[in-house]
Structure 1
Amino acid sequence: MTQSWYLPVLIAVPLIGAVLVASMKGSPARTVKTTALLFSLVPVVLVVLLWIAHRNWQTAGGVFTAYTPLSGDPTIPGQAFYSSVFSVDWIPAFGVHFSLGMDGISLVMVALIALLVPIVLGASWEEKLPEGRTVGGYFALILVLESAMIGVFAATDVFLFYVMFEVMLIPMYFLIGAFGGPRRAYAATKFFLYSLLGGLLMLASLIGLFLASGRVLGTGTLDWATLRTIATEIPESTQLWIFAGFAIAFAIKAPLVPLHTWLPDAGAEAPVGAGTLLVGVLDKVGTFGFLRICLPLLPAASAKLSWLIILLAVIGIVYGAIVAAGQTDLKRFVTYTSIAHFGFICFGVFVFTTQAISGAVLYMVNHGIATALLFLVVGMLTARGGSRLIADYGGVWKVAPVLGGLFLIGSLATIAVPGTNSFVSEFLVLIGAFGPQPAWAIIATTGIVLAALYMLWIFQRTMTGPVRGSAVLQQEPDGTGAPELTAAFPDTAGPPELPPAEGPHGPEGHETDHGHGGLATAVRARVRFGDLNLREKVVLAPLVVLVVLLGVYPQPVLDVINPTAEQTVAASGHTEHGEPLTNGGAR
């Protein structure tokens, strides 16, 4: 079997684009942006070809069952487990390979990355950067981040996974620290320290895994396919120590409560494009790590400590929802909703049923789509209003109906309304969990109710009611209107007086836009605030289409995910209904 070059090229193209964009210092900003966008579109084409190749591989029988891999070329590690395999020797002394491959989980995540990066670049086209920062540097870092994230999801050697896991933190650190908001230095430092702790613990576990494999094989290895076949031979006591390091690193990245506190700061201070990738994709590396490493390579430890992960996940569902409802900052609000959703994903992973794991993986994709839509709309809203505070907005739907409508679609997808993409994911997770974990599933279901409460409450406060709020009306702190607004709408009765920032009758305001003054205020705010332009509509359109399409017909994605979900359940030592096959299989 010949090696596939899809994945090396897929990783290399964004890197080449980043180098080229970063070197275009004297070029016009539009040329730099266009170049970056073109390089981000190439992976979209490659992922389509990769998807077709993977489906052909599945059709040809490229799916292993239980512990019996298909026969194949033994010189290419992981051939029996992955499609589009590429492998070359990297560090022969330690048996380390630069090995890449696709299973159903990694394929859908790589597809999500390829989709979101050009959307993020398009949404960041007119983003205001801190003084002294260049658009070339910003777009180049996003392309480097794309390459590293693809590398994480495509790696089939545990050491390569670790390296890519660490490398992807570097561009995100600089995106937050150099291009973020007022508290960017604090947020970037906190992000780095949490990530550094997780990376060090993962390195310790990686060394332990190498030594443990040496005791079984006679020589250590970090090749995933090889480790997969000897997983049950590693003693349970050893697995527990190795699992601890990996699990903490993945819990930080996921993020699971109480290791989540870096995310609200990083998400709020990151520029909108980088924040979208942070919440939409980069955090999924944690849940992906549980699926790729912990369950198949450390099955006994995963089964023994599953109760702890489930406990933290369910706490995260309820805690994230309650804290989200109390937020005053729009971007922090979105990050806390994500903490609640990540609880559902981790819960689905550790109930060890095919339905729940398929739902969790689909949730990883659908959360990335829905949250990207919501995060980008919030970014477009705050760019117009100049404020991230929820209290500074009200009645936005009247002055920017398209923006308000897309905020509503993002909100409905976030609370998993039937017909939106998140509903299918949440339903599969809960249905898959009710059999083996009924009590925890019932508690987790309360998160659905809480999500509806906090999401619709925020929508009501910012989008509905009379036009109000200093960000929408462009008021000064003393409540007076901006001079250019007042002069722009003279009328026979004189310019209508602007209502206070919080509404004419208290924080929520009860006055409607009937009467001359209310109408004039709405019109003035509309001209100053502005609805979405053509570029912004085009950028968000693919996300809206996918929210609806995957809500109505998710089967093409599930057809890719389900075989790998079944394999992961079998590798964890459970039946497809979550029942343990053995006591873990480890001595």
Structure 2
Amino acid sequence: MIFIPLLGMIAVLLLPRESDELIKRVTLFFTLVPLAVAVALFISYDRSTAGTQYVVNVPWIQAFNIQYHIGIDGLSVTLLLLTALLGPICVIASWRNIEKGIKAYMALFLLLETGMLGFFVALDLFLFYVFFELTLLPMYFLIGIWGGPRREYAAIKFFLYTLFGSVLMLVAMIAVYLNSGALGARTSTEGNALNNLNFQIWVFLGFFIGFAVKVPIFPFHTWLPDAHVEAPTAISVILAGILLKMGTYGLVRINMSMFPQGLDFFCNGLALLGFINIVYGSFCALAQTDFKKLVAYSSIGHMGFVILGLSARNDSGITGAILQMFNHGVISAMLFLLVGVLYDRAHHREINGFGGLGTKMPVYTGITTLAFMASLGLPGLSGFVGEALSLLGAYDKFKMLTILSTIGIVIGAAYFLWTLQRVFLGTLNPKYEEIPEINGREILTLVPLGILTIVLGVWPNFAIDMFRESVTNLIDVLQAI
């Protein structure tokens, strides 16, 4: 599953440069195969155990005890499904939007997918780092070549921020290696030098900053709005849907599982950062007039709920945080696709430049309303359940912070409803008298995400059952300190 997109990249590179349609079809095929595998894994995964399944463990760099060690648990299988689902959706979304260098674009996209899939299944710390870094280079070029007017600035800013975090992660990883004698990812720190509190604090901090840049957590967030605004639509979908989740997944997989004493030391600070993300991100979103930048800042606010839930270290908080990771990936992907639909027609994203589009684009308006309502946390849609569980768990440990964090929900409702009013209601702007309705290809990219949004709102156990045992196991590790 991991290397099928890599094979696709090689196949695309061997095709003639002028065969645009063939390149797109081959790319789509090599993203549909991992989706089929991910669905099969999701169906066949044994939900009754917290153990790792479908494990592959073969020697790689034996001199340093580095293994090619991969496998899935309940957390990784849900994010694998999300990654594999967004792959073909992004290829279809790029079908008419990317006009130059299609061969290079599709090849880089397939390389990016290999990095993302590998990251979520890696069980060796060195392998984990390799896949983490593998996503950096293709994303840099995808933004820097196919992005908007300030694409070079946004790409360099993304690269430097992520590289800064990666260097600290590498230093922390070397420290783990030198103090444990092995480079394999662990779920327990018993019986080795990793038990030392001071060591855990420093190493936790190194990994945390690396992942905090990806989430992004305040104050490492400033690359995100620039990258989103300049990136092509499909790359914005991957940024919000998957790359942000790589940060929170890393916090769960490395920081919480390997360094529980470090987490215990920093949990109050982590909760405070989650609160800042929620409130600051929401107020920034409220101030935006660029549709895409508004969605970008809303992502910063929503990821704050994930951080707040994780910092609670209890069943409700962690379950809500992991569910919110998946839900936000689905909802934010919808939102960026919807912004792209409007940009393709109007060639701008200025919210105040529209008005009355609901009469001309009723189907588009309906789908956008669904995505807005899910993102602002309307009960019955997926955004509500994750936020509610995160807040429920956090209230047990951080009552005042949790109460104050609900400001973010109110502000979220304000900026989404205000945007809905300015873009779709009121008098139709004469410039858009002939604006075309959303087409079949665009609807095809949105329907699977819309269905998931409704299903997870009504039946959240669809996802929760997958990682319930993994959460229980993680809580046992945290309570053992």
TM over 0.5: yes
Give, in angstroms, the shift of residue 526 of structure 1.
Answer: 4.2
Q: How does 1:431-442 map to 2 (within 5 A)?
A: 431-442=392-403
Please state whether the residue corresponding to 1:98 is helix, strand or coil.
strand
1:382 paired with 2:346, answer no
Contact 2:188 2:477 in 1 (8 A): no
Please state whether the residue corresponding to 1:85 is helix, strand or coil.
strand
1:300 paired with 2:261, answer yes
1:145 paired with 2:90, answer no
Q: Percent identity?
A: 40
Q: Which residue of 1 aligns with 2:450?
A: 544
Q: How does 1:27-426 map to 2 (within 5 A)?
A: 27-55=18-46, 58-59=47-48, 62-63=49-50, 81-129=51-99, 133-213=100-180, 220-225=181-186, 228-230=189-191, 234-426=195-387
Q: Give the direction of change, closer, same or farther, for the CA distance of 1:128–1:13 in structure 2 (3 Å limit).
A: closer
Q: Deviations over 1:388-417 (max 9, x none)?
A: 222221111111111111111110011010
- Paired with 1:390 and 1:210, the residues of 2 have a C-alpha distance of 51
* Matched length: 481
Q: Which residue of 2 aligns with 1:568?
A: 474
Scaled by the length of structure 2, the TM-score of the pair is 0.97
- Paired with 1:148 and 1:184, the residues of 2 have a C-alpha distance of 22
- RMSD value over aligned CA atoms? 1.4
Between Structure 1 and Structure 2, the one with more helix by share is 2
Decide which moves more: 231-240 or 161-170: 231-240
**What amino acid does structure 2 have at the position aligned with 1:246?**
F
- Paired with 1:225 and 1:300, the residues of 2 have a C-alpha distance of 14
Q: Which residue of 2 aligns with 1:553?
A: 459
Q: Deviations over 1:1-53 (max 9, x none)?
A: xxxxxxxxx11111111221233234532221111111111011111221233
Contact 1:221 1:227 in 2 (8 A): no
Q: Give the direction of change, closer, same or farther, for the CA distance of 1:226–1:377 in structure 2 (3 Å limit).
A: closer
Report the structure number with the largest CA radius of gyration: 1
- Paired with 1:189 and 1:364, the residues of 2 have a C-alpha distance of 26
Please state whether the residue corresponding to 1:305 is helix, strand or coil.
helix
Give, in angstroms, the shift of residue 246 of structure 1.
Answer: 0.5
Q: Which residue of 2 aligns with 1:22?
A: 13
Q: Give the direction of change, closer, same or farther, for the CA distance of 1:200–1:184 in structure 2 (3 Å limit).
A: same
Please state whether the residue corresponding to 2:268 is helix, strand or coil.
helix
- Paired with 1:153 and 1:26, the residues of 2 have a C-alpha distance of 32
Contact 1:212 1:234 in 2 (8 A): no
Please state whether the residue corresponding to 1:99 is helix, strand or coil.
strand
Give, in angstroms, the shift of residue 232 of structure 1.
Answer: 8.3
Give, in angstroms, the shift of residue 280 of structure 1.
Answer: 1.0
- Paired with 1:143 and 1:380, the residues of 2 have a C-alpha distance of 23
- Paired with 1:190 and 1:295, the residues of 2 have a C-alpha distance of 28
- Paired with 2:2 and 2:78, the residues of 1 have a C-alpha distance of 16
**What amino acid does structure 2 have at the position aligned with 1:19?**
I
Contact 1:53 1:84 in 2 (8 A): no
Decide which moves more: 535-544 or 201-210: 535-544
- Paired with 2:401 and 2:156, the residues of 1 have a C-alpha distance of 35
User: Where does structure 1 differ by over 3 angstroms across 4 or more consecutive aligned residues?
Assistant: 225-233
Show structure 1 runs of 5+ residues with no match. 1-9, 64-80, 214-219, 475-524, 575-580
Show structure 2 runs of 5+ residues with no match. none
- Paired with 1:288 and 1:260, the residues of 2 have a C-alpha distance of 17
Contact 2:186 2:257 in 1 (8 A): no
Contact 2:179 2:193 in 1 (8 A): no
- Paired with 2:213 and 2:259, the residues of 1 have a C-alpha distance of 19
**What amino acid does structure 2 have at the position aligned with 1:104?**
G
Q: Give the direction of change, closer, same or farther, for the CA distance of 1:385–1:397 in structure 2 (3 Å limit).
A: same
Contact 1:100 1:157 in 2 (8 A): yes
Contact 2:17 2:103 in 1 (8 A): no
Contact 2:75 2:467 in 1 (8 A): yes
- Paired with 2:17 and 2:60, the residues of 1 have a C-alpha distance of 38
